[in-house]
Amino acid sequence: MTNATSSLSLGGGTSVTVNPVTNKIYVAIQFGTVKVIGGAGNSTATVSMGRDPQFVAVNPVTNKIYVPNAGANSVRVIGGATNLTTTVNAGIAPQYVAVNRRLSVASVFQLSHGEFYAIAA
């Protein structure tokens, strides 16, 4: 089938990323959660973030998901297997995160201040 589409009603996703290894999709939702979608059956789970997440990135090697939490000056790290979270301090108001699989480092950056933070990934 070519370009067939379907929709998942999640409540407004600001960011989406895929772990191709686990075939899970992570969507940052404006209302304080990250939705975890099983790519095969579109089952969803909800991980509470406390505050509104803007961005989400995945390390498919370690199966960890990174969610900047600007309001708390931290990054929430989701364990892909359990959906349990831990919190890592990350500068001031981090907005975005990118993962380098080779170096196993996540870079966290803040748009308006131009500041970068590195955390082990």
Task: Using CB under 8 A, list all residues that contact another protein.
Answer: 1-10, 12-18, 20-21, 23, 25, 27-28, 30, 37, 39, 42, 54-55, 57, 88-91, 95-96, 98-103, 105-107, 109, 111-112, 114-120
Q: Which is nearer to another protein, 84 or 120 (CB)?
A: 120
Judged by CB, which is closer to another protein: 77, or 106? 106
Spatial CB neighbours of 82, under 8 Å, sequence gap ≥ 6: none
**Which letter does DSSP use for residue 80 in this model?**
T
The three-state secondary structure class of 72 is helix
68, two tokens: 């900047």
Among residues 21 and 84, whose Cβ is nearest to another protein? 21
Cβ nearer to another protein, comparing 84 with 111: 111
The position carrying tokens 């909800």 is 46
Nearest distance, CB of residue 82 and another protein, angstroms:
21
Task: Output the smallest distance, CB 35 to another protein, in A.
Answer: 8
C-beta atoms surrounding 35 within 10 Å:
19
**CA angle, residues 64, 70, 95, in degrees to nearest 5:** 70
